[in-house]
Amino acid sequence: MNMGQFPGDKRGEAGQTLVDILIGLALIALSVSFAVILVFGGQKILIDRDNAVQARVLAKEGFEAARTIRDLDWDGLTDGEHGLTFSGGKWQFSGTSDVIGVLTRKVIVVSESSDTKRIESRVTWQTDPQREQKVELVTLLTDWQNAPPGGGDPGDTGGGGVSGNWQNPQTLGSVDLGPGNEATDLDVLNKIVYISAAASAAAKPDFWIVDATDGENPFIASSLNTSPTLNAIDVSGDYAYVANNEGTAQLQIIDVRDINNPALIVSYRLPGTTEDDTVGNTVFYLDSKVYVGTQEDSDGSEFFIVDVSQPSTPSTLGSYEINDNVNDIHVRDGRAYLATDKGGAGLMVLDVSNPAAITFLGQTFSGDVASVFNIRSSLTLIAPGQDFYTVNTTDPANMTNLGFINVGNVINDMTTRNHLAFLATSNGNREFQVINVSDPTNPTLHSHLNFPQVATGIDYESNLVYISVRSNDALRIITSSP
């Protein structure tokens, strides 16, 4: 018998049990540790997620604050890093940042040009001393109120910015041109409205001047028969430049110094037009030049630049062959933006800084485009088909769509002021439409009105919108509700 071991000795079993207990306790401790890590880790993830959501809300709010500051006073949108405060019912810059809980917000303003600023709304927070999280949003804001809507005509700035409630527009006044007269376009200058028209008979007037000094009681000051029909009009200073539906006189110039007695001073056939049905479709005046678009000419050009520094003796400076109809023109900063019927080139951009050597910059859109309006190099509004599109035209060779909205029919003309685009359309229930373009990636219908007939032309001046209508009741003056 081994003298070191006794029968029934339990010490080995007890030692094994102790080891098992220790292992069990270690496993329990490890499980608790993992549970604690998971609980606190999950809480940390939830906190980070909540902070990120709140940061995005604050960054977007920073954008909206910058917009309201811009709308109140462009000069208040100063370059630099800013915090925000809401006081007296409006947003104001305050300091270099503002703190909301653990989140720090900065609105950074950088001038891109004299009328464009880059806005960065940045929100940061610390998840631990070594790790900073942030949300950044970037946009561009433009000096809508002071930028001339026509692209630079110092005599036609359009007055101040929009005011009142444009979600509830109202008719202020209207004018009836009498039976057999349908308005095709208009331009307003200092509350005097110049209207081009299609007349039912050759002997009837096709050019009208309306005195709308009292917007509630506008009246016809005078009229003129240029024969046969006028399709478009642009007025600057003492002269009205009209596109005539006549192949031998596509551009006409009317002296309007006496609004009670306008006088046709010249009918001008564009050089190189080979067909008598190559009529004037559209005109745009800027800096003593008139840009004219015509219907398609099989052998000649459809886009012309005409020197009118001496209105009685216009002369063509240059032309460009489009090979289809030019429906609308907008010129800004040495570029001409054309709305055309050409396949693959509904929107065409030309360099017109040297009229004698017009050069092609780019084109986009396969469908016909009825109207175009350039706000800045990075934002152009166009009307292909029944849609309203916002397009980034910074690089005309690589233009990109930003957003769109269907308006239900053709947009015959458009203009803008501040964050609103005003449309004259062929929609039978919404001939006048207002589109909010404060976010160009998401244009939205702001309001609309129904007229008896198609809206053909549109202009803006000092919180009034003037619309030409294809009916006897040819002029509508619209304003916001109080």
pLDDT category, 154, cuts 50, 70, 90? low
What amino acid is encoded at 143 in this protein?
A: D
SS3 content of the chain, % helix, strand, coil (to 5): 15, 50, 35
Round to whole Å and give the CA distance between 219 and 221: 6
pLDDT at 279: 94
Is residue 458 within 8 A of residue 153, CB to CB? The reply is: no
Q: Token pair for residue 194?
A: 């110049």
Is residue 311 within 8 A of residue 263, CB to CB? The reply is: no
Q: pLDDT tens-digit profile of 399-445?
A: 999 999 999 999 999 999 988 999 999 999 999 999 999 889 999 99
Round to whole Å and give the CA distance between 195 and 132: 61
Round to whole Å and give the CA distance between 387 and 364: 15
Residue 212: Cβ-neighbour burial (10 angstroms; 0-12, 13-18, 19+)? buried
Average pLDDT over the chain reads 88
3-state class (DSSP) for residue 45:
helix
pLDDT category, 460, cuts 50, 70, 90? very high
Task: Write the DSSP symbol of residue 76.
Answer: G
Is residue 366 within 8 A of residue 345, CB to CB? The reply is: no
Q: pLDDT tens-digit profile of 381-403?
A: 999 999 999 999 999 999 999 99
pLDDT category, 158, cuts 50, 70, 90? confident
Is residue 280 within 8 A of residue 244, CB to CB? The reply is: yes
pLDDT at 1: 45
Task: Write the DSSP symbol of residue 398.
Answer: G
pTM of the predicted protein model:
0.74
Give the CATH class of 165-481. Answer: mainly beta
pLDDT cut 70: percent of the chain above it: 87
Burial letters 150-182, b for 16+ CB under 10 A, else e: bbebeebbbbebbeeebeebeebbbbebeeebb
The yes-or-no verdict on residue 31 having pLDDT over 80 is: no
Q: Which residue has the higher pLDDT, 407 or 53?
A: 407
What amino acid is encoded at 11 in this protein?
A: R
The yes-or-no verdict on residue 6 having pLDDT over 50 is: no
pLDDT at 327: 97
